Amino acid sequence: MTVLSTTEIMALIPNRYPILYMDKVIDMVPGESITAVKNVTINEQFFQGHFPGNPVMPGVLIIESLAQAASILILSSPQFKGKTAYMTGIDNAKFRTMVRPGDVLELHVTFGNLRENMGTVNVEARVDGKVATKAELMFVVSPDEK
């Protein structure tokens, strides 16, 4: 089931092709958690150079995918609607499994600590139910409206 389509995602966050790394949101509890999906295909631009003959999604782009899902969760919270969220840090990042073309990357995000316009989110990317990447991301929300 789709909670937010790609078009609805683009209405919430400023990312666009070629740096929009999710296809849909399948579950969301505003202020609590979100699950989004990125269908990883061989047509992704980064596979041309990472790595020819052995395509692997770069870890930094998995983190970016998780940050985009986190942005949707953050900006869906009533106090942050219409604002912009920025990642300010990454802690305890672990890369457990390679992500390859054909994989469906599930992006799981839950709120951690929140204080005024900044906080943390706990993130986990899974493929076939197995953890590929997990981390804690720090963020700040811009006080200015878009």
Q: Which residues are catalytic?
A: 50
Of residues 94, 106, 92, 100, the one with CA closest to residue 138? 92
Contacts of residue 97, defined as CB under 8 A and 6 or more positions apart, other chains included, come to 127, 130, 131, 132, 133
